[in-house]
Protein backbone atom coordinates (compact mmCIF):
# COMPACT_ATOMS: atom_id res chain seq x y z
CA UNK A 1 0.00 0.00 0.00
CA UNK A 2 1.35 3.43 -0.98
CA UNK A 3 1.25 6.36 1.42
CA UNK A 4 -1.32 8.80 0.00
CA UNK A 5 -0.07 11.68 2.16
CA UNK A 6 3.24 11.57 0.33
CA UNK A 7 1.67 11.33 -3.12
CA UNK A 8 0.10 14.80 -3.10
CA UNK A 9 1.01 18.31 -1.92
CA UNK A 10 -1.26 19.02 1.05
CA UNK A 11 -4.98 18.42 1.57
CA UNK A 12 -7.74 19.36 -0.83
CA UNK A 13 -9.90 22.44 -0.19
CA UNK A 14 -13.55 21.75 -0.98
CA UNK A 15 -15.60 24.30 -2.89
CA UNK A 16 -18.99 22.75 -2.14
CA UNK A 17 -19.10 23.07 1.65
CA UNK A 18 -21.99 25.00 3.15
CA UNK A 19 -19.53 27.52 4.59
CA UNK A 20 -18.08 28.12 1.14
CA UNK A 21 -21.52 28.45 -0.43
CA UNK A 22 -22.66 30.87 2.29
CA UNK A 23 -19.61 33.05 1.77
CA UNK A 24 -20.16 33.11 -1.99
CA UNK A 25 -23.80 34.11 -1.51
CA UNK A 26 -22.82 36.89 0.90
CA UNK A 27 -20.25 38.21 -1.53
CA UNK A 28 -22.68 38.09 -4.47
CA UNK A 29 -25.18 40.05 -2.38
CA UNK A 30 -22.56 42.69 -1.61
CA UNK A 31 -22.40 41.84 2.10
CA UNK A 32 -18.65 41.97 2.75
CA UNK A 33 -18.95 41.92 6.53
CA UNK A 34 -16.24 40.98 9.02
CA UNK A 35 -18.20 37.80 9.75
CA UNK A 36 -18.10 36.83 6.09
CA UNK A 37 -14.35 37.42 5.85
CA UNK A 38 -13.63 35.44 9.01
CA UNK A 39 -15.73 32.48 7.86
CA UNK A 40 -14.12 32.61 4.41
CA UNK A 41 -10.52 32.97 5.51
CA UNK A 42 -10.52 30.79 8.63
CA UNK A 43 -13.00 28.04 7.69
CA UNK A 44 -14.09 27.86 4.05
CA UNK A 45 -10.51 28.14 2.77
CA UNK A 46 -9.28 25.33 5.06
CA UNK A 47 -9.21 21.71 3.81
CA UNK A 48 -12.16 19.75 5.17
CA UNK A 49 -13.61 16.28 4.70
CA UNK A 50 -16.36 15.45 2.23
CA UNK A 51 -19.14 13.47 3.92
CA UNK A 52 -20.55 10.88 1.55
CA UNK A 53 -24.02 9.44 2.13
CA UNK A 54 -26.29 6.68 0.80
CA UNK A 55 -26.66 7.91 -2.77
CA UNK A 56 -24.91 6.98 -6.05
CA UNK A 57 -21.24 7.47 -5.37
CA UNK A 58 -20.00 8.97 -8.64
CA UNK A 59 -21.90 12.26 -8.38
CA UNK A 60 -20.73 12.72 -4.79
CA UNK A 61 -17.01 12.27 -5.32
CA UNK A 62 -16.17 12.53 -9.04
CA UNK A 63 -15.81 16.35 -9.08
CA UNK A 64 -13.63 16.27 -5.98
CA UNK A 65 -11.33 13.56 -7.32
CA UNK A 66 -10.96 15.51 -10.55
CA UNK A 67 -10.25 18.83 -8.86
CA UNK A 68 -7.83 17.21 -6.41
CA UNK A 69 -5.89 15.57 -9.22
CA UNK A 70 -5.63 18.88 -11.07
CA UNK A 71 -4.50 20.70 -7.92
CA UNK A 72 -2.23 17.82 -6.80
CA UNK A 73 -3.95 17.75 -3.41
CA UNK A 74 -5.22 14.92 -1.23
CA UNK A 75 -9.01 14.55 -0.76
CA UNK A 76 -10.47 13.34 2.53
CA UNK A 77 -13.83 11.53 2.48
CA UNK A 78 -16.13 10.34 5.25
CA UNK A 79 -18.24 7.28 4.53
CA UNK A 80 -21.52 7.87 6.39
CA UNK A 81 -24.16 5.52 5.09
CA UNK A 82 -24.26 2.47 7.35
CA UNK A 83 -27.68 1.03 8.27
CA UNK A 84 -29.11 2.47 11.52
CA UNK A 85 -26.67 5.35 11.25
CA UNK A 86 -25.99 7.30 14.45
CA UNK A 87 -28.05 4.64 16.27
CA UNK A 88 -31.18 6.55 15.25
CA UNK A 89 -29.93 9.88 16.66
CA UNK A 90 -29.85 13.36 15.14
CA UNK A 91 -27.91 12.10 12.10
CA UNK A 92 -29.99 8.97 11.56
CA UNK A 93 -30.35 7.46 8.11
CA UNK A 94 -28.15 5.25 6.00
CA UNK A 95 -28.95 2.20 3.90
CA UNK A 96 -31.78 -0.10 4.88
CA UNK A 97 -29.81 -3.36 4.68
CA UNK A 98 -26.33 -4.84 4.65
CA UNK A 99 -26.27 -5.90 1.00
CA UNK A 100 -27.16 -2.42 -0.22
CA UNK A 101 -24.42 -0.92 1.91
CA UNK A 102 -21.84 -3.45 0.77
CA UNK A 103 -22.61 -2.81 -2.90
CA UNK A 104 -22.26 0.92 -2.29
CA UNK A 105 -18.98 0.54 -0.37
CA UNK A 106 -17.55 -1.54 -3.19
CA UNK A 107 -18.53 1.07 -5.75
CA UNK A 108 -16.99 3.77 -3.54
CA UNK A 109 -13.65 1.99 -3.47
CA UNK A 110 -13.77 1.12 -7.17
CA UNK A 111 -14.52 4.70 -8.14
CA UNK A 112 -11.53 6.02 -6.17
CA UNK A 113 -9.38 3.33 -7.74
CA UNK A 114 -5.73 4.35 -8.05
CA UNK A 115 -6.29 7.92 -6.86
CA UNK A 116 -4.68 8.87 -3.53
CA UNK A 117 -7.31 9.48 -0.87
CA UNK A 118 -8.13 9.26 2.84
CA UNK A 119 -11.43 7.72 3.92
CA UNK A 120 -12.91 7.80 7.42
CA UNK A 121 -15.24 4.82 7.68
CA UNK A 122 -18.55 5.38 9.46
CA UNK A 123 -17.98 7.58 12.52
CA UNK A 124 -19.83 6.48 15.66
CA UNK A 125 -20.37 2.90 14.48
CA UNK A 126 -18.18 1.18 17.04
CA UNK A 127 -18.77 3.45 20.03
CA UNK A 128 -22.49 2.62 19.72
CA UNK A 129 -21.92 -1.14 19.76
CA UNK A 130 -22.74 -1.72 23.45
CA UNK A 131 -26.25 -0.35 23.00
CA UNK A 132 -27.13 -2.38 19.90
CA UNK A 133 -28.89 -5.71 19.55
CA UNK A 134 -26.95 -8.83 18.57
CA UNK A 135 -28.28 -8.61 15.00
CA UNK A 136 -27.44 -4.93 14.71
CA UNK A 137 -23.90 -5.61 15.86
CA UNK A 138 -23.55 -8.49 13.41
CA UNK A 139 -24.87 -6.38 10.54
CA UNK A 140 -22.64 -3.45 11.44
CA UNK A 141 -19.52 -5.61 11.50
CA UNK A 142 -20.49 -7.20 8.19
CA UNK A 143 -20.69 -3.72 6.66
CA UNK A 144 -17.39 -2.53 8.09
CA UNK A 145 -15.32 -5.60 7.29
CA UNK A 146 -16.63 -5.56 3.72
CA UNK A 147 -15.81 -1.88 3.33
CA UNK A 148 -12.29 -2.38 4.68
CA UNK A 149 -11.66 -5.21 2.24
CA UNK A 150 -13.11 -3.21 -0.64
CA UNK A 151 -10.75 -0.29 -0.09
CA UNK A 152 -7.82 -2.62 0.41
CA UNK A 153 -8.54 -4.44 -2.85
CA UNK A 154 -9.84 -1.71 -5.17
CA UNK A 155 -8.20 1.46 -3.82
CA UNK A 156 -4.54 0.65 -3.11
CA UNK A 157 -3.56 4.31 -2.61
CA UNK A 158 -6.28 5.01 -0.06
CA UNK A 159 -5.81 4.99 3.70
CA UNK A 160 -9.03 3.85 5.41
CA UNK A 161 -9.63 4.59 9.10
CA UNK A 162 -12.29 2.97 11.29
CA UNK A 163 -14.19 4.64 14.13
CA UNK A 164 -11.76 4.99 17.04
CA UNK A 165 -14.02 6.79 19.51
CA UNK A 166 -13.87 10.34 20.80
CA UNK A 167 -10.74 9.97 22.89
CA UNK A 168 -12.14 10.53 26.37
CA UNK A 169 -15.21 8.57 27.43
CA UNK A 170 -14.71 5.42 25.33
CA UNK A 171 -11.85 3.43 26.83
CA UNK A 172 -9.19 1.94 24.55
CA UNK A 173 -9.80 -1.45 26.18
CA UNK A 174 -13.49 -1.36 25.23
CA UNK A 175 -12.87 -0.28 21.63
CA UNK A 176 -9.98 -2.57 20.74
CA UNK A 177 -12.05 -5.80 20.43
CA UNK A 178 -14.60 -4.05 18.18
CA UNK A 179 -11.84 -2.64 15.99
CA UNK A 180 -10.34 -6.10 15.66
CA UNK A 181 -13.68 -7.60 14.64
CA UNK A 182 -14.26 -4.74 12.19
CA UNK A 183 -11.09 -5.66 10.31
CA UNK A 184 -8.59 -3.04 11.42
CA UNK A 185 -5.73 -5.40 10.55
CA UNK A 186 -6.55 -4.67 6.89
CA UNK A 187 -7.21 -0.94 7.30
CA UNK A 188 -4.69 1.83 7.89
CA UNK A 189 -6.00 2.45 11.38
CA UNK A 190 -8.60 4.48 13.25
CA UNK A 191 -9.92 8.04 13.58
CA UNK A 192 -10.24 9.74 16.98
CA UNK A 193 -12.42 12.65 18.13
CA UNK A 194 -14.63 12.87 15.03
CA UNK A 195 -17.13 15.70 15.56
CA UNK A 196 -15.91 16.09 19.13
CA UNK A 197 -13.88 18.55 21.20
CA UNK A 198 -11.15 16.72 23.07
CA UNK A 199 -7.69 18.26 22.89
CA UNK A 200 -5.08 16.87 20.55
CA UNK A 201 -2.89 15.86 23.49
CA UNK A 202 -5.66 13.90 25.19
CA UNK A 203 -6.50 12.19 21.90
CA UNK A 204 -2.86 11.27 21.28
CA UNK A 205 -2.57 9.64 24.69
CA UNK A 206 -5.79 7.73 24.05
CA UNK A 207 -4.63 6.63 20.58
CA UNK A 208 -1.20 5.49 21.77
CA UNK A 209 -2.83 3.32 24.43
CA UNK A 210 -5.26 1.91 21.88
CA UNK A 211 -2.43 1.14 19.45
CA UNK A 212 -0.64 -0.72 22.23
CA UNK A 213 -3.67 -2.88 22.98
CA UNK A 214 -4.25 -3.65 19.30
CA UNK A 215 -0.59 -4.66 18.95
CA UNK A 216 -0.63 -4.53 15.16
CA UNK A 217 2.29 -3.55 12.93
CA UNK A 218 2.06 -0.09 11.34
CA UNK A 219 -1.40 0.80 12.66
CA UNK A 220 -2.00 4.53 12.32
CA UNK A 221 -4.51 7.11 13.47
CA UNK A 222 -5.84 10.56 12.64
CA UNK A 223 -7.40 13.16 14.96
CA UNK A 224 -10.28 15.49 14.15
CA UNK A 225 -9.08 18.92 15.26
CA UNK A 226 -11.83 20.98 13.65
CA UNK A 227 -13.35 22.17 16.94
CA UNK A 228 -10.94 21.18 19.71
CA UNK A 229 -9.05 24.45 20.20
CA UNK A 230 -10.60 25.03 23.64
CA UNK A 231 -11.11 21.38 24.47
CA UNK A 232 -14.53 20.06 25.59
CA UNK A 233 -17.11 22.12 27.50
CA UNK A 234 -16.54 22.50 31.25
CA UNK A 235 -17.85 19.75 33.51
CA UNK A 236 -20.55 22.07 34.80
CA UNK A 237 -22.01 22.37 31.30
CA UNK A 238 -21.74 18.62 30.70
CA UNK A 239 -23.47 17.84 33.98
CA UNK A 240 -26.25 20.29 33.18
CA UNK A 241 -26.71 18.76 29.70
CA UNK A 242 -25.76 15.10 30.22
CA UNK A 243 -27.32 13.70 27.04
CA UNK A 244 -26.82 16.64 24.68
CA UNK A 245 -23.63 18.40 25.83
CA UNK A 246 -21.85 17.46 22.60
CA UNK A 247 -24.41 19.37 20.49
CA UNK A 248 -23.29 22.92 19.65
CA UNK A 249 -21.90 23.76 23.11
CA UNK A 250 -20.84 27.38 23.64
CA UNK A 251 -17.24 28.49 23.86
CA UNK A 252 -15.68 25.96 21.50
CA UNK A 253 -12.88 26.97 19.16
CA UNK A 254 -11.25 25.95 15.89
CA UNK A 255 -8.30 23.61 16.40
CA UNK A 256 -5.06 22.96 14.56
CA UNK A 257 -5.36 23.07 10.80
CA UNK A 258 -5.08 19.83 8.84
CA UNK A 259 -1.56 18.60 8.36
CA UNK A 260 0.30 15.39 7.72
CA UNK A 261 2.25 14.63 10.87
CA UNK A 262 4.51 11.98 9.38
CA UNK A 263 3.14 8.86 11.02
CA UNK A 264 5.50 9.11 14.03
CA UNK A 265 4.29 6.61 16.64
CA UNK A 266 1.28 6.01 14.38
CA UNK A 267 0.08 9.64 14.35
CA UNK A 268 -0.69 10.23 10.67
CA UNK A 269 -2.53 13.55 10.54
CA UNK A 270 -4.72 16.20 12.05
CA UNK A 271 -7.85 16.60 9.92
CA UNK A 272 -10.97 18.74 9.89
CA UNK A 273 -13.50 15.92 9.69
CA UNK A 274 -16.52 17.68 11.19
CA UNK A 275 -17.22 20.79 9.14
CA UNK A 276 -16.99 23.82 11.48
CA UNK A 277 -20.18 25.84 11.62
CA UNK A 278 -22.44 22.95 10.71
CA UNK A 279 -24.93 22.09 13.45
CA UNK A 280 -24.89 18.92 15.52
CA UNK A 281 -28.68 19.08 15.71
CA UNK A 282 -31.20 21.07 17.79
CA UNK A 283 -29.00 21.51 20.84
CA UNK A 284 -26.84 23.99 22.72
CA UNK A 285 -26.51 27.43 21.16
CA UNK A 286 -28.61 26.36 18.16
CA UNK A 287 -31.75 24.74 19.67
CA UNK A 288 -33.83 25.22 16.53
CA UNK A 289 -31.29 24.00 13.98
CA UNK A 290 -31.14 20.77 12.00
CA UNK A 291 -28.16 18.41 11.88
CA UNK A 292 -25.58 19.65 9.30
CA UNK A 293 -27.33 23.01 8.84
CA UNK A 294 -24.73 25.75 8.40
CA UNK A 295 -24.90 28.42 11.10
CA UNK A 296 -22.82 31.51 10.24
CA UNK A 297 -22.84 32.88 13.79
CA UNK A 298 -21.65 29.57 15.23
CA UNK A 299 -18.90 29.42 12.61
CA UNK A 300 -17.84 33.00 13.38
CA UNK A 301 -17.76 32.33 17.11
CA UNK A 302 -15.61 29.23 16.62
CA UNK A 303 -12.80 31.47 15.42
CA UNK A 304 -12.93 33.56 18.58
CA UNK A 305 -13.72 30.68 20.93
CA UNK A 306 -17.00 32.05 22.25
Provide the annotated active-site residues: 86, 124, 280
Distance CA 50, CA 43 (A): 14
- Report the side by side order of strands in the sheet with 267-271: 50-52, 76-79, 117-121, 158-163, 189-192, 220-224, 267-271, 259-264
- DSSP letter string, the chain: ---GGGTSSSBPPPSSSHHHHHHHHHHHTT---HHHHHHIIIIITS--PEEE-SS-HHHHHHHHHHHHHHHT-B-EEEE---TTGGGGSTT----SSHHHHHHHHHHHHHHHTTS-EEEEE-TTTTTTGGGS-HHHHHHHHHHHHHHHHHHHHH-TTEEEEEE---SSSS-HHHHHHHHHHTTGGGSSEEEESTT----HHHHHHHHHHHHHHHT-TT-EEEEE-TTBTT-SPPHHHHHHSTTTTTSS-TT-B--PPPEEEEEETTEEEEE--S-TTB--SSBTTBTT--TT-B-HHHHHHHHHT-
- DSSP letter string, 3-23: -GGGTSSSBPPPSSSHHHHHH
Distance CA 305, CA 130 (A): 34
Amino acid sequence: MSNPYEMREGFHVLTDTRSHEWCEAEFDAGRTTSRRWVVWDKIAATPQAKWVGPAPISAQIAPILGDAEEANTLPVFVSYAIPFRDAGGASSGGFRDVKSYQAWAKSFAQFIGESPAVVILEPDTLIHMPGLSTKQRRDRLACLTYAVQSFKHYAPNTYAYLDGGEGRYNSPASLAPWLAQAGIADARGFAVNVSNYNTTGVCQSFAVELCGILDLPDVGYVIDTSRNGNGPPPDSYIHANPTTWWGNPPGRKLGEKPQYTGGVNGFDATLWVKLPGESDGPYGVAPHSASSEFLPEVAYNLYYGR
